[in-house]
Structure formats: structure tokens, C-alpha cells
Amino acid sequence: EVQLVESGGGLVQPGGSLRLSCAASGFIFSSYWMSWVRQAPGKGLEWVANIKQDGSEKYYVASVKGRFTISRDNAKNSLYLQMNSLRAEDTAVYYCASERFLEQFDYWGQGTLVTVSS
Amino acid sequence: QSVLTQPPSVSGAPGQRVTISCTGSSSNIGTGYDVHWYQQLPGTAPKLLIYGNNNRPSGVPARFSGSKSGTSASLAITGLQAEDEADYYCQSYDSSLSGSVFGGGTKLTVL
């Protein structure tokens, strides 16, 4: 059974940092692109960033470029999102998802809530 | 303002058929990128419902179907059931943004 389990969310002040993790199991993690997708409270889905199987390519939505960094450790079957210079508008549930590049998101985690507030 | 446009809400009675539209542009759906659909039940994570315009993952009932034409796509649900009440999102790839884009979501109410 495919499982994606996010962790690391919480309350952080504006300008602060947070590192999200996603532990994968039940599939060959190193064979998939992986993404982070977020959902602000009461709002729709927004793709945030993705990373190629070997980590050699990374892409970001314009609003997080230069502030967020996606990375992965295939030996640990784990995906990460380092979030710096956080803003109130980054408040959202962050989901990790397996991705078919340029195509769909097959599997999703349960999400972790990030709240940016003073 | 989402890159892909969906109606905010649709509704139907049990047993009826409803459709949800998804309108894009020449930099996403119109370029030939596939459209995918997700179902998000209240308080849960999104789940892949339709991929590659009209394909259903294993376990998704045949009541759900998708289609694509030009710069738009549609999700159809036949034989509406109470458990279909959820938010539905379309998704595609946008070449000008170099990333995936979603519709704003459509809330389906089963009357």
C-alpha cells in the first residue's frame, strides 16, 4: 500500500523558517518525480514545487522562488521542503504527492498544516 | 484567480447526471497537455479520479468519466450518489508557467 506521511508543520512567525518532511513507502520512491502542493484554508489547490527522481531538476511556483527549497533523499525514501522568509500567505495545508512529470499526481499524503502568524 | 476556470458549484439529485467544466488556454489544455481530475471529500486529502483526460485509476467507479476538447475539459458523474458530495479539481500543465496548474475547484452538492 502506498503511503505518504508529511510532518514538520506548525505555527511560525512571519519571516521565520520551517522544514517539512514526507516519508514514502509502498512504491519505488526513487522512480518518481515528487511534488509539494498546498491548500490555503477554505481555498483551492496550488502546486508549489517538484523535483526529478535524482534531484537534478527542480521547479517552483513563482511566489516561492528564492524562499523555498525542495530536496529528496532516495536512500531514506524522503522528500523535504525547506521554507524560509515565511509570509502570512504561505499559511496552508502542505501535501506531498507522487507525480508523473507533466501529468498527474497519483498519490497524496494526508497533509501537514503550516500557520504563519505573529 | 486560477489558471484553469471551473464553476464554483454544481448540484444534482440522486441518480442524476452532472458535469463540471474546466476551461484553460493555449498555454495549457490547448497546447495538448492532458487534464486530470481529483476528488476531495470533506476534511481529507485529494484523490486522483481521472487521469489522461478520460482514464480511471483502479477502484474508481465507471460513473465517473472525463473528456477534453480544444482548450476545455469536462468531468461527468452519472447515477449521482450521496457520497459523491465533495470538491472536484481539474489540473493540467502550463508551459508558460513551467508548472502544474489547478482549477479553482467545484463544490458538488447532492440534493
pLDDT digits (tens, 9 = 90+) for A67-91: 999 999 999 999 999 999 999 999 9
For A42-103, what is the HEC assignment? CCCEEEEEEECCCCCCEEECHHHCCCEEEEEEHHHCEEEEEECCCCHHHCEEEEEEEECCCC
The answer, yes or no, to whether residue B36 has pLDDT greater than 90, is: yes
CB burial string B55-76: b at 16+ within 10 A, e below: ebeeebeeebbbebeebbbbbe
Q: Please report which confidence band the pLDDT of residue A6 belongs to, taking 50, 70 and 90 as the band edges.
A: very high
Alpha-carbon torsion, ordered B109, B57, A102, A64, to 10 deg: 50
pLDDT digits (tens, 9 = 90+) for A22-70: 999 999 999 999 999 999 999 999 999 999 999 999 999 999 999 999 9
Residue B111 contacts A where some CB pair is shorter than 8 Å = no
Contact A65, A114 (CB under 8 A): no
Nearest CB to A109 within list B34, B45, B89: B45
Identify residue A49 by its one-letter amino acid code.
Answer: A
Tell me the chain B residues in contact with residue A9 when contact means C-beta distances shorter than 8 Å: none
Chain A interface test: which of B100, B101, B102, B106 (most A C-beta within 10 Å): B100
Contact B58, A106 (CB under 8 A): no
Q: How far is A40 from chain B (nearest CA, A)?
A: 12
Tell me the chain B residues in contact with residue A44 when contact means C-beta distances shorter than 8 Å: 2, 89, 102-105
Nearest CB to A104 within list B36, B44, B101: B36
Q: Nearest-CA neighbor of A78 among A8, A18, A9, A30?
A: A30
Nearest CA in chain A to B45: A110
